[in-house]
Amino acid sequence: MDVTNSTFKYTDLEIFFIEISPYTFANLGAALAISLSVMAAAWGIALTGTTILGQAVSSPRIRTKNIISVIFCEALAIYGIITAIIVQLKIKDTQVFYGSDYFAGFAIFWSGLLVGFSNLACGIAVGVAGSSAAIADAANPELFIKVLVIEIFASALGLFGLIVGIVQANAADFGLNKFPLM
């Protein structure tokens, strides 16, 4: 079924997306940013925490130094919360939806998805690097700083995702009343 307008006609897929409120996409983006980021933090903590505890049995001195890996993972959950707060502040109530409102909803959705998945990749990378740091530190204390540098680079992935997500969501503005749909 095609809806015909004086200038163009909509396809079934376009009608499907037009019938869904842009607020749905925006709020789903915020929810994905938080939920995927918290899952990333949990996954990274599980990877690195179990190794730290296992290696601390034979070498108890590594417990305090290697806690930095857990802190790097916790930062990922905070990145998701920051993103959700920023995008929620962009959502404004409008009575009639225009094309610019749909653009804003989609931009916020993809921003949340981007931050969530970049944090998920970062959580896995930090967890593996933190696990390696604990094993290396237990074997030879001089290796800890060298492996920690790699872990810092892995942690930067989440920060890059946060920055790109904020830049992407910055273009979203509800209530501009541009580009009427019909």
List, for residues 75-115, the tens digit of each pLDDT value: 999 999 999 999 999 888 887 888 888 899 999 999 999 99
pLDDT at 1 over 50: no
Res. 182 pLDDT band, cuts 50 70 90: low
CA atoms within 13 A on the CB side of 125: 18
CA-based nearest residue to 166, from 119, 108, 118? 108
The torsion angles phi and psi of 163, rounded to 5 degrees, stand at -65, -45
- Residues 126 and 48: their CA atoms lie apart, in Å, by 8
Contact call for residues 155 and 75 (beta carbons, < 8 A): yes
> Span 9-24, mean pLDDT?
84
Please answer whether residues 182 and 99 qualify as being in contact, where contact means their C-beta atoms are separated by less than 8 angstroms: no
